[in-house]
Structure 1
Amino acid sequence: MWNMKMYYVSLIFLLSISISSLISSIIFIEMNNSIFLEWSLVSSNSCCINMTLILDWMSLMFLGFVTFISSMVLFYSGSYMAQDYNLNRFIYLVLGFVVSMGALIISPNLISILLGWDGLGLISYVLVIYYQNEKSAAAGMLTALSNRVGDVAILLSIAFLFSKGGWNFIFYNEMMIYNYLGILSFLLVLAGMTKSAQIPFSAWLPAAMAAPTPVSALVHSSTLVTAGIYLIIRVSPILSEQVTMILLLLASLTMFMAGLGANFEYDLKKIIALSTLSQLGVMMGILALGRVDLAFFHLLSHALFKALLFMCAGSVIHSVKDYQDIRFMGSLVSQMPLTTMCMNLANLSLCGTPFLAGFYSKDLILEIIFMSNINLIIFLLFVFSTGLTVCYTFRLIYYSMSGFSSLGSFSSVQDDSNVMTSPMLGLAVGAISGGAALSWLIFPFPDMICMSMFIKLLALLISILGASVGYILSLFSVSERLKSLSLYSMVVFYGSMWFLPFLSTLEMNKLILLKGNDVCKVGDQGWSEFYGGQGVYTSMMSSSLNLQFVQDNNVKLYMLSFLLVVVGVVVIYI
């Protein structure tokens, strides 16, 4: 039996932190100041390792959103995972995740960021393998190894900043680290790309859907995957222009690839994971163009409706006998009206429907991108990705909420749990009004948008076209949809994220792990061992034995030495 007292105490604790953080953030915005705390832990060679905290409007607002979504997810888990014998462990893991995320958010220092960063990676791995089976183990290993690349990049960044005498990167700009600007920018962007699953590290995010659905709502939609975005937001003053241009191209390709893959996917959670990947590409794209405030704005508004979408998906999966295939659903609007309403709100907000949360950030981002000095390829990738987002959203609406019912005969589908629907309603309020409230807070003064009427209406036109295509194609009969078998190779290519899962697992196993075994045998266990630890040990032991033999006061040794000296003297005189 799980501990009810700990459950309620955790809820109250997270909600109180959320409310106090959001209120403090609003106060800091109005007062236009921040608090910087620093104390020294270790000092060596005039280089101090400091523990640093920064409390400004950005960190406090993000912390408030993380704790609010965590409290809603924890509340939701009280019903979703009520039959789990290890629910106490799950609650501890969620609280550990929140602590790690908080350490990352309020740290402007690379060393203290590394504590939260590695904590996120470890707890994410444990949560992905929560259901102990082979599929979860494989997904967890892919997640852990992909994120280790970013961990190594941060460690190398710490090494490059050692000569500066400190790791508080908020005090640095391009000129102060000019010698290391290119390398440091590449390493920090690489770390952000691995955590936010940009190409070529995109395969781990859909694979991580092996975790419980509440974990997906918290970790893999709104908080963990945005940690890389948040890191790049913080270090944006020290990024080089060349690295940001590469980041813009990769973010655009990620967005397009994820939108295309979601239109061929039938797993409900993977469709939502791919939509998360697409929105991460939007954030990275606008971040590469230098609009940090817009990236942060979309990060917060996306967290609200995407966590809601995962919660609705969990409620649907729970009701339809734990199926995740959308072809086993259908016509849920008449059986689960409350869940359907919240899911439609989240879906429409994701599409950028006017006056919902996603509209205020996404529409502004697209308009800034359209009037920026970008090339035609990036422009077309953003346009097509916007249409694909609406296309797979309305395809999901058809298969799950409208259309024909494909449920089994004995399915009991209804909104029967208040514990699951109450947090969904709380996030639904955020999905409706969160965008407007955030836009008033973050952008007190409006941006000047200068573009033609066609470009201004392009996002709306593409959205309408994508919705029409997604819904109409879903209406076709099975025999007409089977015509896609004639284009089987193309469907497999698009539906498998451009073969990234295969390249990240099978090919990486051949290229890195098997070659790494050879390198280990030749290097670590071969020449390195011969000239390294074992070689030094063997030579020192033999030398020590010879020295001990000399010092044994052996008469034979002394007589031999005396004879050698006499022979030497005779040879010299002769």
Structure 2
Amino acid sequence: MSVISICLISFLSLFSLSMTLFIFSLNFLIYDLVYFIEWELISLQSSAIVMTFLFDWMSLMFMSFVLFISSLVIFYSKEYMAEDPNINRFILLVLLFVFSMMMLIISPNLISILLGWDGLGLVSYCLVIYFQNVKSYNAGMLTALSNRIGDVALLLAIAWMLNYGSWNYIFYIEMMKNDLEMQIIGGLVILAAMTKSAQIPFSSWLPAAMAAPTPVSALVHSSTLVTAGVYLLIRFNILFSETMLGNILLLLAGLTMFMAGLGANFEFDLKKIIALSTLSQLGLMMSILAMGFPKLAFFHLLTHALFKALLFMCAGAIIHNMKNSQDIRDMGCLSSHMPFTTSCLNVANLALCGMPFLAGFYSKDLILEIVSLSYVNMFSFFLYFFSTGLTVCYSFRLVFYSLTGDFNTSSLHCLNDEAWTMSKGMSGLLIMAVIGGSMLSWLIFPSPSMICLPPLLKFLTISVCLIGGFSGYLVSNISLYFSNKSLNIYFPSIFMSSMWFMPSLSTSGSVFYPLFLGMQVIKSFDQGWSEFFGGQQIYKLMSFFSMFNQFLQNNNLKIYLMSFVLWIIILVSLLIL
């Protein structure tokens, strides 16, 4: 089967399935339906292994969005990955990735969640190391090891669920909330979600995962791998609302949002800037979820998926035309050479900043106003609004460096918008990035929220955005045309640009030394003393007795007679003595 046919079949199948699921989700939402399906795989004596699926408006809508973005990403990959001889393998890996996400979304059972959860981890490793070089291998290993911590936490949560009658957590959540001992499950699930959604201190793997092909990044950073943790916590939200766990999550998510926003303002790699913006938005989702607003977190999850996938697709088209250069300092004045791609990038960027009436505005503005209305401490309040300003700051910096300004590419270039397949893939998401927010707002919140705030608080969001945008333009202008002021404060700049030294701590700090220690323990104990006094010693003794027995059996009668006479002499002498 040809590459084009596989891409087309996958695109059409996923797209049609997405539309079907979206219509079903509307039906479930209007009539408030929940379907709980149990499928008994095997029954042995009185024990049964049962597969369970939960279909409600939330799972169906999320599935439809994941399938919609996946279909457009596969369509886009047809041209982006055209030079790859193994494109069929790539498409199959992406489909396996999507299937793992589907498994996670519809599972109300911790064991079946683990299937999807581990599937995501394994396939993401295969996709991160897809371009086989040392950097990709290192990034893949960091991704896999970081996610393994969450997998272990989920396994421990499964073990703790043995205190109940079933692993279908959905039946027990209300009871768990009042059970102090079972707050442990909440803590373990939060730990698992923090590793998958790259919250502090597990943030370093997310920018490293940019070693994957750009279509994979578009899928991973919008609606699949990194959102799995947020989705799991939306399901478990009752466990940590108004508890100490919720307060800890609020602090860590706020710090993640702040750290990612700061780091993106120092970054020059196009894909890493967008990856850090994903990290910032994940922090926003986690923090509003910790405050007890799961519907709002889900709303932002969906709107963010639309414009973030579009951002990555535009970045992929630019990198493709720049002959695989990702440095924004090598770009400049792209708007005159690639008008359609830069238009899409600008729309996605403005949606990310919360430009009124684009997708991001409806969720982001509502979140910030709810925060202003809620009883939240001053530190968290500062983190929310300052991080929003930083988002607009790095977005305008990106626009200034790459889309406007001076032309920094070589004079002999082939920058154009003639990648029709990629453009069609982007145009589907462009429409959704414009209308998606308002559509979801009408569906999820049919009655508008009444938020009464004083004028200063009401205008705080727009003020922070305007100040952030102006700062981004000003800083970029100074850095590009005058002296780079960040070099005057070299060490603080290094600290902020390196994600607060988290990549170093995650690799040489917390991964290398435990692995080195483990190697020493294995050499000294497992392969050393315990082997010498255990397996090897028993083997030597058994070998000796076996050989001695063989020696006795293989000799002639004289030897037996001699030994018999010898034994008699020994016995007689003993008796005489």
Residue from 394, 397, 403 that aligns with 1:395: 397
Distance change in 2, residues 1:154/1:557 (3 Å)? farther
Show the 5 A alignment for 1:211-290: 211-239=212-240, 241-290=243-292
Aligned-pair CA distance for 1:223? 1.6
Tell me what 1:380 maps to: 382
Equivalent in the alignment of 2:111: 111
Structure 1 pair 408–113 and aligned structure 2 pair: CA distance change class (3 A):
same
Match of 1:506 in 2: 508
Q: Which amino acid aligns with 2:139?
A: A
Amino acid corresponding to residue 142 of structure 1 in structure 2: L
In the TM superposition, what are the counterparts of 1:287-298 in structure 2 within 5 Å?
287-298=289-300
Deviations 1:264-283 (A, max 9, x none): 00000000000000000000
Q: Equivalents in 2 of 1:89, 1:428: separation in Å?
A: 28
Alignment of 1:168-567 (within 5 A): 168-176=168-176, 178=179, 180-239=181-240, 241-476=243-478, 478=480, 480-526=482-528, 529=531
Change (3 A) 1:547 1:341: same
- Quote the residue 2:132 is aligned against: 132
1:463 partner letter: C
SS in 2 for 1:35: strand
Matched residue type, 2:251: L
Task: Please state how far the C-alpha of 1:555 moved relative to its aligned partner.
Answer: 10
Match of 2:36, SS state, is strand
1:62 aligns with 62
> What CA deviation, in whole Å up to 9, does each residue of 1:448-473 have, x standing for no partner?
32322211211111000000000122
**Percent of pairs identical after alignment?**
58
Q: What one-letter code is carried by the residue in structure 1 that aligns with 2:34?
A: S
* Structure 1: gaps spanning 5 or more residues: none
Amino acid at match of 2:404: S
Alpha-carbon distance in 1 for matches of 2:456, 2:501:
36
Give the letter for the 2:406 counterpart: F
Spell out the pairing of 1:132-171 with structure 2 (5 A cutoff).
132-171=132-171
Q: 1:27: how far off?
A: 0.5
Give the C-alpha shift of residue 478 in structure 1: 4.2
Partners of 2:148 and 2:537 lie apart in 1 by 32
State the alpha-carbon separation in 1 of the partners of residues 45 and 164 from structure 2: 12
* Distance of aligned partners of 1:531 and 1:413 in 2 relative to their CA distance in 1, 3 Å threshold: same
Q: CA deviation at 1:404?
A: 1.1
**Mean Cα deviation higher: 48-57 or 254-263:** 48-57
Structure 1 SS opposite 2:38: strand
Segment of structure 1 superposing worse, 440-449 or 405-414: 440-449
Q: Is the 8 A contact 2:65 2:223 kept in 1?
A: no
Mapped to 2, the partners of 1:93 and 1:432 lie a distance apart of 30
1:173 Cα offset (Å): 2.2
Task: Give the direction of change, closer, same or farther, for the CA distance of 1:532–1:107 in structure 2 (3 Å limit).
Answer: farther
Change in Cα spacing, 1:86 to 1:497, as seen in structure 2 (3 Å) is same
Q: Partner residue of 2:557?
A: none
Per the alignment, do residues 447 and 74 of structure 1 end up closer, same or farther by CA in structure 2, a change over 3 Å counting? same
Question: Which residue of 2 is the match for residue 9 of structure 1?
Answer: 9
Provide the C-alpha distance between the structure 2 equivalents of 1:66 and 1:102, rounded to a whole number of angstroms: 8
**How big is the shift at 1:137?**
0.8
Q: 1:330 Cα shift? A: 0.8
Q: What SS class does the counterpart of residue 175 from structure 2 fall into?
A: coil
Aligned pair count reads 570
1:490-542 deviations in Å (ceiling 9; x for gaps):
11111110011111112224421111212223443356657877788789999
Paired with 2:542 and 2:42, the residues of 1 have a C-alpha distance of 35
Q: Secondary structure at the match of 2:236?
A: helix
In 1, Cα distance between equivalents of 2:426 and 2:191: 35
Q: What is the identity, as a one-letter code, of the residue corresponding to 1:29?
A: L
Question: Retained in 2: the 8 A contact 1:47–1:166?
Answer: no
**Residues 176 and 183 of structure 2 are in contact (CA less than 8 Å); yes or no, is this contact kept in structure 1?**
no
State the shift of 1:11 in Å.
Answer: 1.1
Secondary structure, in 3 states, of the residue corresponding to 1:310?
A: helix
Deviation at 1:372, TM superposition (A): 1.8
CA drift at 1:566: 12
Deviation at 1:180? 3.6
Contact 2:479 2:485 in 1 (8 A): no
Question: Which secondary structure does the structure 2 equivalent of 1:82 belong to?
Answer: coil
Cα–Cα, structure 1 residues 352 and 540, in superposed 2: closer, same or farther, change >3 Å?
farther
Paired residues of 1:48 and 1:165 also in contact (CA < 8 A): no
Q: Against the structure 1 CA distance between its residues 529 and 491, is the aligned structure 2 distance closer, same or farther, given a 3 Å change threshold? A: same
Once residues 538 and 44 of structure 1 are traced to their aligned partners in structure 2, the CA distance between those partners, rounded to angstroms, is 44
Is 1:26 the counterpart of 2:26 in the alignment?
Answer: yes
Structure 1 pair 564–287 and aligned structure 2 pair: CA distance change class (3 A): farther
| Distance of 2:573 and 2:43 partners within structure 1 | 61
CA distance in 2 between partners of 1:233 and 1:215 (Å): 24
Cα gap change, 1:108/1:477 in structure 2, threshold over 3 Å: closer, same or farther? closer
Partner of 1:96: 96
Q: Which moved more, 1:209-218 or 1:559-568?
A: 559-568
Aligned residue identity for 1:434: G
Amino acid at match of 2:394: Y
CA apart distance, 1:230: 0.7
How far apart, CA to CA, are the structure 1 residues paired with 2:566 and 2:447? Answer: 98
Instruction: Please say which of residues 109-118 and 252-261 is displaced more in the overlay.
Output: 109-118
Normalising by structure 1, report the TM-score.
0.92
- Report what 1:81 is aligned to: 81
CA distance in 1, matches of 2:156, 2:79: 44
Q: Secondary structure at the match of 1:221?
A: coil
**Alignment partner, residue 556 of structure 2:** none
Indicate how the Cα distance of structure 1 residues 496 and 563 shifts in structure 2: closer, same or farther if over 3 A, else same: same
Distance 1:165 1:522, change over 3 A: farther
Q: Which one-letter code corresponds to 1:122 in the other structure? A: L
Check 1:80–1:54 CA distance in 2 against 1; reply closer, same or farther (3 A cut).
Answer: same
Contact 2:173 2:236 in 1 (8 A): no
Query: Taking structure 2 as the reference length, what is the TM-score of the superposition?
Result: 0.92
User: What is the Cα deviation at residue 548 of structure 1?
Assistant: 12
AA aligned to 2:246 is: T
Contact 2:198 2:204 in 1 (8 A): yes
| CA distance, structure 2, for counterparts of residue 430 and residue 138 of structure 1 | 35
Partner of 2:555: none
Following the alignment from structure 2 to structure 1, what is the Cα–Cα distance between the partners of residues 25 and 205? 33
When the two chains are superposed, the root-mean-square deviation of aligned CA atoms in Å is 2.9
| 1:36 counterpart residue number | 36
The answer to whether the 8 A contact 1:65-1:300 is kept is: yes
Superposition deviation, residue 156 in structure 1:
1.1
State the alpha-carbon separation in 1 of the partners of residues 96 and 122 from structure 2: 10
The letter of the residue matching 1:452 is P
**CA contact 1:221–1:273 (8 Å) conserved in 2:** no
Kindly provide the CA deviation profile for residues 386-438 of structure 1, in whole angstroms up to 9, marking residues without a partner as x: 10000000000101111111111111211101101111111011101101111
CA distance change for structure 1 residues 393 and 559 in 2, over 3 Å: closer, same or farther? farther
Change (3 A) 1:62 1:535: farther
SS at match of 1:38: strand
Helix, strand or coil: the match of 1:73?
Answer: helix
Change (3 A) 1:63 1:546: farther
Which AA in structure 2 matches 1:487?
I
Q: Is the 8 A contact 1:2 1:87 kept in 2?
A: no
Supply the AA of the counterpart residue of 1:62.
Answer: F
* 3-state secondary structure, aligned to 2:311: helix
Mapped to 1, the partners of 2:317 and 2:58 lie a distance apart of 32
Question: Partners in 2 of 1:395 and 1:334 — Cα distance?
Answer: 18
